[in-house]
Structure 1
Amino acid sequence: MKIEKIDHLGIAVPSIEDGKNFWSDVLGLELEGAETVEEQKVTTAFFPVGESEVELLESTSPDGPVAKFIEKKGAGFQHVAFRVADINEALDELKEKGIKLIDQTPRIGAGGAQIAFLHPKATGGILVELCQRD
């Protein structure tokens, strides 16, 4: 598996509007755009930082994964996403190593990226996302 870089850091927020105040007004990062991903019950907003991004995640449903995360742990750091050259190859390699996966096959995430999540029980408690952008 070839990890190319940290693609983005996911931050769970109750409201993107409120969350962007800190990232834009205080830190001076430019909002690249927002997108709702219905399948994941989330609206995302990206703030580029060099070659990576900060992604704010707002749940669109009380039963969505981001809402459940905030309910359990509060707002804050939710996941790290690594850009990989070939997500299918990466998942095959992780399966061979016995790593527990949330996604056995890639799905489409924000910006049309192919994504897959590793289970936090296999990563020392951190939600890890693999991301391939073509």
Structure 2
Amino acid sequence: MNISHIEHIGIAVNSLEEAIPFYEEKLGLKCYSVEEVTDQKVKTAFFMVGQTKIELLESTDPEGPIGKFIEKKGQGIHHLAFAVDDVNQSLAELEEKEVRLIDKSARKGAEGLNIGFLHPKSTMGVLTEICGKE
């Protein structure tokens, strides 16, 4: 597995409508994309900071993963995502190394990327995503 960089940091928010102005008006960043990922029950907004993105995540269903996260922990950092060359190969390699996986194979995420999550119990409590174009 070859991790090239931090792809994005996912931040759970109650409302994109309320959060986007903070990042734009207070921090001077520009939201370049808002997208709904229906199968994950989430709307996303993206900002570039160097080569790393900030992904704001708003739940579209209280029973979805972000809705449950916010109910349990409140708004805040949800996950850290690393860019890899091949998500499926990386997941298989991590499983061989006895890393507990949430996803055994890649699925589609925002921005057309393939994604897979590692269980926080294997990553010192940090929900970790690996993502890539392959």
TM-score (norm 1): 0.98
Deviation string for 1:37-81 (max 9, x for gaps)?
A: 000000000001111100000000010100100011110000000
Q: Residue 95 of structure 2 aligns with which residue?
A: 95
Q: Distance between the aligned counterparts of 1:4 and 1:54, measured in 2?
A: 17
| RMSD of Structure 2 on Structure 1 (CA) | 0.7
Q: Residue 85 of structure 2 aligns with which residue?
A: 85
Identity of aligned residues (%): 53
Q: Distance between the aligned counterparts of 1:7 and 1:28, measured in 2?
A: 20
- 1:23 maps to 2:23: yes
Letter in 2 for 1:67: G
Q: Residue 67 of structure 1 aligns with which residue?
A: 67
Once the two structures are TM-superposed, the CA of residue 119 in structure 1 deviates from its matched residue by: 0.4
Once the two structures are TM-superposed, the CA of residue 112 in structure 1 deviates from its matched residue by: 0.7
Once the two structures are TM-superposed, the CA of residue 133 in structure 1 deviates from its matched residue by: 2.3
Q: Distance between the aligned counterparts of 1:133 and 1:79, measured in 2?
A: 19
Q: Distance between the aligned counterparts of 2:98 and 2:107, measured in 1?
A: 21
Give the aligned length: 134
Q: Distance between the aligned counterparts of 2:133 and 2:8, measured in 1?
A: 12
3-state SS in 1 of match to 2:31? coil
Q: Distance between the aligned counterparts of 1:28 and 1:119, measured in 2?
A: 34
Once the two structures are TM-superposed, the CA of residue 33 in structure 1 deviates from its matched residue by: 1.1
Runs of 4+ in 1 over 3 A off after TM superposition: none
The equivalences for 1:34-49 within 5 A come to 34-49=34-49
Q: Distance between the aligned counterparts of 2:125 and 2:66, measured in 1?
A: 16
TM-score (norm 2): 0.98
Letter in 1 for 2:54: V
3-state SS in 1 of match to 2:90? helix
Q: Residue 58 of structure 2 aligns with which residue?
A: 58
